[in-house]
Amino acid sequence: MTGTLSFHTINGDKQAFLPLIYEADPDPAMVGRYLDRGTLFVAYCGNEPACAAVVVHISPEECELKALATEERFRRRGIASAMIRHLAETFQGRYASILVGTAEPGVPFYEKSGFVRFRTLKGFFVENYPEPVYDGGFLCRDMICLRKTL
Protein backbone atom coordinates (compact mmCIF):
# COMPACT_ATOMS: atom_id res chain seq x y z
CA MET A 1 0.00 0.00 0.00
CA THR A 2 1.33 3.43 -0.88
CA GLY A 3 0.43 6.24 1.46
CA THR A 4 -1.60 6.29 4.62
CA LEU A 5 -5.06 4.74 4.73
CA SER A 6 -7.77 7.05 6.08
CA PHE A 7 -11.54 6.68 6.27
CA HIS A 8 -14.05 9.43 5.50
CA THR A 9 -17.83 9.69 5.67
CA ILE A 10 -19.04 11.44 2.52
CA ASN A 11 -21.85 13.87 3.22
CA GLY A 12 -21.58 15.86 0.01
CA ASP A 13 -21.34 14.68 -3.57
CA LYS A 14 -21.92 10.93 -3.48
CA GLN A 15 -22.32 10.94 -7.27
CA ALA A 16 -18.57 11.47 -7.67
CA PHE A 17 -18.06 7.93 -6.34
CA LEU A 18 -20.58 6.21 -8.61
CA PRO A 19 -17.96 4.63 -10.90
CA LEU A 20 -16.46 2.87 -7.88
CA ILE A 21 -19.86 1.90 -6.43
CA TYR A 22 -20.86 0.43 -9.82
CA GLU A 23 -17.92 -1.98 -9.47
CA ALA A 24 -19.88 -3.58 -6.61
CA ASP A 25 -23.39 -3.03 -7.96
CA PRO A 26 -23.55 -2.49 -11.74
CA ASP A 27 -27.22 -1.46 -11.96
CA PRO A 28 -27.78 2.32 -11.67
CA ALA A 29 -31.46 1.77 -10.79
CA MET A 30 -30.55 -0.56 -7.92
CA VAL A 31 -27.86 1.84 -6.64
CA GLY A 32 -30.38 4.68 -6.90
CA ARG A 33 -32.66 2.85 -4.45
CA TYR A 34 -30.15 3.01 -1.61
CA LEU A 35 -27.38 5.54 -2.26
CA ASP A 36 -29.21 8.66 -1.04
CA ARG A 37 -30.60 7.00 2.09
CA GLY A 38 -27.32 5.25 2.86
CA THR A 39 -24.11 6.45 4.46
CA LEU A 40 -21.15 6.47 2.08
CA PHE A 41 -17.71 5.68 3.47
CA VAL A 42 -14.55 6.08 1.41
CA ALA A 43 -11.10 4.79 2.29
CA TYR A 44 -8.34 6.94 0.87
CA CYS A 45 -4.84 5.67 0.23
CA GLY A 46 -2.92 8.90 0.48
CA ASN A 47 -5.09 11.33 -1.51
CA GLU A 48 -6.69 8.72 -3.76
CA PRO A 49 -10.06 7.06 -3.13
CA ALA A 50 -9.26 3.35 -2.85
CA CYS A 51 -12.43 1.73 -1.49
CA ALA A 52 -16.09 2.72 -1.06
CA ALA A 53 -18.87 1.25 1.06
CA VAL A 54 -22.55 2.16 1.37
CA VAL A 55 -24.41 1.20 4.56
CA VAL A 56 -28.16 1.62 5.11
CA HIS A 57 -30.28 1.50 8.26
CA ILE A 58 -32.58 -1.55 8.23
CA SER A 59 -34.00 -1.56 11.77
CA PRO A 60 -32.98 -0.40 15.25
CA GLU A 61 -30.98 -3.64 15.50
CA GLU A 62 -29.51 -3.99 11.99
CA CYS A 63 -27.79 -2.12 9.21
CA GLU A 64 -26.87 -3.48 5.79
CA LEU A 65 -23.73 -3.13 3.71
CA LYS A 66 -25.21 -2.54 0.26
CA ALA A 67 -21.99 -2.02 -1.70
CA LEU A 68 -18.28 -2.55 -1.08
CA ALA A 69 -15.77 -1.98 -3.87
CA THR A 70 -12.05 -1.40 -4.13
CA GLU A 71 -10.36 0.34 -7.06
CA GLU A 72 -8.61 -2.27 -9.16
CA ARG A 73 -5.10 -0.91 -8.57
CA PHE A 74 -5.64 -1.10 -4.78
CA ARG A 75 -7.03 -4.65 -4.63
CA ARG A 76 -5.39 -7.49 -2.69
CA ARG A 77 -3.85 -5.06 -0.18
CA GLY A 78 -6.29 -5.55 2.70
CA ILE A 79 -8.15 -2.28 2.13
CA ALA A 80 -11.63 -3.86 1.90
CA SER A 81 -10.90 -5.84 5.08
CA ALA A 82 -9.82 -2.61 6.77
CA MET A 83 -13.08 -1.01 5.61
CA ILE A 84 -15.08 -3.86 7.18
CA ARG A 85 -13.20 -3.34 10.47
CA HIS A 86 -13.87 0.42 10.25
CA LEU A 87 -17.59 -0.17 9.66
CA ALA A 88 -17.77 -2.62 12.57
CA GLU A 89 -16.11 -0.07 14.87
CA THR A 90 -18.33 2.74 13.58
CA PHE A 91 -21.60 0.87 14.07
CA GLN A 92 -20.78 -1.09 17.23
CA GLY A 93 -23.09 0.13 19.96
CA ARG A 94 -25.58 1.53 17.42
CA TYR A 95 -26.60 -1.79 15.89
CA ALA A 96 -26.44 -5.41 17.02
CA SER A 97 -25.40 -6.64 13.58
CA ILE A 98 -24.50 -5.70 10.03
CA LEU A 99 -25.91 -7.66 7.09
CA VAL A 100 -24.55 -8.14 3.59
CA GLY A 101 -25.82 -9.89 0.48
CA THR A 102 -23.34 -11.22 -2.07
CA ALA A 103 -22.93 -13.81 -4.79
CA GLU A 104 -21.03 -17.03 -4.10
CA PRO A 105 -17.55 -15.66 -5.04
CA GLY A 106 -17.80 -13.00 -2.30
CA VAL A 107 -18.71 -15.38 0.52
CA PRO A 108 -15.15 -16.42 1.56
CA PHE A 109 -14.09 -12.77 1.98
CA TYR A 110 -17.05 -11.98 4.22
CA GLU A 111 -16.71 -15.20 6.21
CA LYS A 112 -13.05 -14.37 6.82
CA SER A 113 -14.25 -10.97 8.08
CA GLY A 114 -16.53 -12.59 10.68
CA PHE A 115 -19.81 -12.81 8.77
CA VAL A 116 -21.98 -15.95 8.99
CA ARG A 117 -24.45 -17.19 6.35
CA PHE A 118 -28.09 -17.10 7.38
CA ARG A 119 -30.15 -17.20 4.18
CA THR A 120 -30.00 -17.70 0.42
CA LEU A 121 -32.26 -15.74 -1.92
CA LYS A 122 -32.60 -18.07 -4.91
CA GLY A 123 -32.50 -16.33 -8.29
CA PHE A 124 -32.06 -12.84 -6.80
CA PHE A 125 -29.58 -11.52 -9.37
CA VAL A 126 -31.46 -13.05 -12.32
CA GLU A 127 -34.83 -11.68 -11.17
CA ASN A 128 -33.74 -8.21 -9.99
CA TYR A 129 -31.13 -7.07 -12.52
CA PRO A 130 -31.91 -6.25 -16.17
CA GLU A 131 -28.56 -7.63 -17.38
CA PRO A 132 -26.60 -10.69 -16.23
CA VAL A 133 -24.29 -9.91 -13.29
CA TYR A 134 -20.82 -11.45 -13.26
CA ASP A 135 -18.28 -11.56 -10.44
CA GLY A 136 -14.85 -12.57 -11.69
CA GLY A 137 -16.35 -14.50 -14.59
CA PHE A 138 -18.93 -16.20 -12.33
CA LEU A 139 -22.57 -15.67 -13.41
CA CYS A 140 -24.38 -14.51 -10.27
CA ARG A 141 -27.76 -16.13 -9.66
CA ASP A 142 -28.42 -16.51 -5.94
CA MET A 143 -27.75 -13.93 -3.24
CA ILE A 144 -26.08 -15.31 -0.13
CA CYS A 145 -27.06 -13.29 2.94
CA LEU A 146 -24.57 -13.03 5.79
CA ARG A 147 -24.60 -11.38 9.21
CA LYS A 148 -21.82 -10.08 11.43
CA THR A 149 -22.54 -9.53 15.11
CA LEU A 150 -21.18 -6.19 16.27
Tens digit of each residue's pLDDT (9 = 90 or more) over 89-114: 999 999 999 999 999 999 999 999 99
- Could you tell me the residue ranges of all domains in the chain? 5-149
Return d(Cα 104, Cα 16) in angstroms, integer.
29
CATH of domain 5-149: 3.40.630.30
What are 8-61's pLDDT values in tens digits? 999 888 999 999 999 999 999 999 999 999 999 999 999 999 999 999 999 999
